[in-house]
Each structure stands twice: as structure tokens, then as C-alpha cells.
Amino acid sequence: MTTSYELSHLGALEAESVHIFREVAATFEHPVLLFSGGKDSVVMLHLAAKAFWPAPLPFPVMHVDTGHNFDEVLAFRDHTVRRLGVRLVVSSVQDDIDAGRVVEQPGAGRNRLQTTALLRAIGDNGFDAVFGGARRDEEKARAKERVFSFRDEFGQWDPRAQRPELWSLYNGGHHKGEHIRVFPLSNWTELDIWQYILDEGIELPSLYYAHRRDVVQRDGMLLAHTRFLALQDGEKPYAALVRFRTVGDATCTGCVESAAATPEAVVAEVAATRLTERGATRADDRISEAGMEDRKKEGYF
């Protein structure tokens, strides 16, 4: 019998991500992993746990909390943190609003306000590397990102100042006050994520699977009718069978009509779609043609 040592597609992606986690742990003093309870951050945390098993995770996780989260996601976040025994840092947008550091615009959502809370938490805790779950297939600004994304002393991103990563060699050099955003899932696609969730039996918040809830149709999207969503003139909530492809602030994260109630069904559904999850279900990405890139330059995820 001939033994094959060739990695599968998902095996190669997993090995790359594990290498990135270990590289950061070996070269940075105070990393942190952004964990919101969304599917990409869940997979990222799963990979991090694998990278250092059987030792505990050598860095904390952080949630930048808009205050407009889905209850199911917060419950899942807290359950996962307890299960893994990791330290959770929460940076609250509401704290910045109360302190006058940011001003909330009625009806505008709080996603853009997360930048201030994120940069404040990075500075207060002295984090020099921040793991994020962004993938290049999500959005064109994210497609420009390196795996190691350099941020200046103001936390800002300049796409022209990024470093080459030939042969997967990463340059984490930075001065005090600067930091590096690290994206272990850069080369994964939404389909890869779901196939990995299926293969690994990874638990997710229930709203990633088909369920019935009240929704509102707005600007070609279905938004969940929650206590955070102010109805506009003429809007009337109705019940629909839906699931979420991505999860964020409840005021700007849409859902899609779907009967996919299992990971197998979601894999089949994602394999047939031609629109990214952010393009289909994130209202905050529609503010302008370069909306995401503008926010990233300010220090956003």
C-alpha cells in the first residue's frame, strides 16, 4: 500500500493558519484574538486551540461590543469562553459614547464606532498583535490585505505601506505604539469555512441555521426585527424562515431566506451562491463604493 503525504485542500489551509498562530506567539509579546461569536472568529479560535494543544491558549480573546448584538451570539460567546477557559476582554462602544469620545448618529448603526473602542482597548492593554477573522474573498478592500497587516501608531492602515510576504515569510517588525493585525483565515473562502465547520463538528450560534423570525425588508435586505431596529415609515415586520451568513451589529446585519438547518445543507447552499456574505447581508458596507477601505484606513477591522 502506498501512503500519501499530500495534504487535502482544507488540511493545507489549516496547516497555514496553525503556522501563523505559532509564528505570532513566538515573535510578539502581547497578542489578542478578536472573538465576536461569529462563524469566522469561531473557526479562528478553534484553529488557535489546535495550534497550542494540549497547552492552553497563550493569549486572551477580545470582543468589541457595539451594544446591539444578537442575544444568541452573546450567549454563545460566553459559553465558548467558559468551555475553553480563556480570558475575555470586552471593549464597549457604549463606554465611548458615554465618555463623549464618539457621537452616535440616530439610525446610522454603531459599526463605524467600533474603531474607537478597538484602538482604545489595544492601547490600554498593550496588545502588539491582533488576530482578526477577515478573509480576502469577503470584500475588495480585504483582498488587498497581507496576512501581517501593519498599523501605525494611530492604528491606521495604509495599503501602500504593506510588506511583501514572498514564500509566506512574515515581517512583524514594529516600533512601540504600532501593532500588527494578523489574518490567519486570509486564504479561506466562505465555502472553506463551512466545509471545515462540517468536517470538524464545530458548534456555532443557532442563528447561522434556518429558523423562523420576524424580519423587515429594507434596501433589498432582510433585517431582523429586534429591539435595536427602529422601524421606518411603511415598514411592517413579518415572519420568515431565514438564516444568517454573517453576524454583526443587529441594526445592519441582514439574513437570507433559507431552509438550510444543518452544516451539510449550508455547504450545499453556499456552494451554489455567487454573492459574498458581506455583499448580500451587510448594510454598513453599502455606504459607498470604498466604504470598507475608508473604515480600514481609520483603524477598523
Q: Could you report the per-residue pLDDT of 203-247, keeping only the tens digit for each?
A: 999 999 999 999 999 988 899 999 988 888 888 999 999 999 988
What is the C-alpha to C-alpha distance for residues 185 and 190, in angstroms, rounded to an integer?
10
What is the C-alpha to C-alpha distance for residues 26 and 214, in angstroms, rounded to an integer?
47
Model pLDDT, residue 13: 97
pLDDT in tens, 244-286: 998 888 888 899 999 999 999 999 999 998 777 756 555 555 4
Domain ranges of the chain: 9-191+290-298, 206-286
What is the C-alpha to C-alpha distance for residues 197 and 205, in angstroms, rounded to an integer?
12
| Cell triple for 277 | 456574505
Q: Per residue of the chain (301 residues), what is the pLDDT tens digit?
A: 566 678 899 999 999 999 999 999 999 999 999 999 999 999 999 999 999 999 999 999 999 999 999 999 999 999 999 999 999 999 999 999 999 998 888 767 788 889 999 999 999 999 999 999 989 888 777 677 888 988 888 878 888 878 888 888 888 888 888 899 999 999 999 999 999 999 999 999 999 999 999 999 998 889 999 998 888 888 899 999 999 998 888 888 899 999 999 999 999 999 998 777 756 555 555 444 555 555 555 656 5
What is the C-alpha to C-alpha distance for residues 153 and 41, in angstroms, rounded to an integer?
25
What is the C-alpha to C-alpha distance for residues 233 and 266, in angstroms, rounded to an integer?
34
Neighbours of 1 (CB within 10 A): 2
Model pLDDT, residue 288: 47
What three-state secondary structure class fits 65?
A: strand
DSSP at 154:
T
Alpha helices in the chain (DSSP H): 9-27, 39-52, 71-84, 93-99, 114-125, 140-143, 190-200, 263-272, 277-281, 291-298
Q: Do the Cβ atoms of 81 and 61 come closer than 8 Å?
A: yes
Radius of gyration in angstroms for the set of CA atoms belonging to the chain, rounded to a whole number? 19
Write down the architecture of domain 9-191+290-298 according to CATH.
3-Layer(aba) Sandwich (3.40)
Model pLDDT, residue 3: 63
List residues bridging with 194 in a β-sheet.
Answer: none
* Site of grid cell 434596501: 219
What is the C-alpha to C-alpha distance for residues 280 and 190, in angstroms, rounded to an integer?
13
Describe the chain by its helix, strand, coil percentages, rounded to 5. Answer: 40, 15, 45
What three-state secondary structure class fits 266?
A: helix
Q: Residues near 67 by Cβ (< 8 Å), separated by ≥ 6? A: 92, 93, 94, 110
What is the C-alpha to C-alpha distance for residues 143 and 199, in angstroms, rounded to an integer?
26
Nearest to 139 by CA among 5, 256, 3, 284: 284
Helix (H) or strand (E) holding 139: none
Q: What are the phi and psi torsion angles at 263 (to 5°)? A: -60, -40
Name the amino acid, one letter, at 84. Answer: L
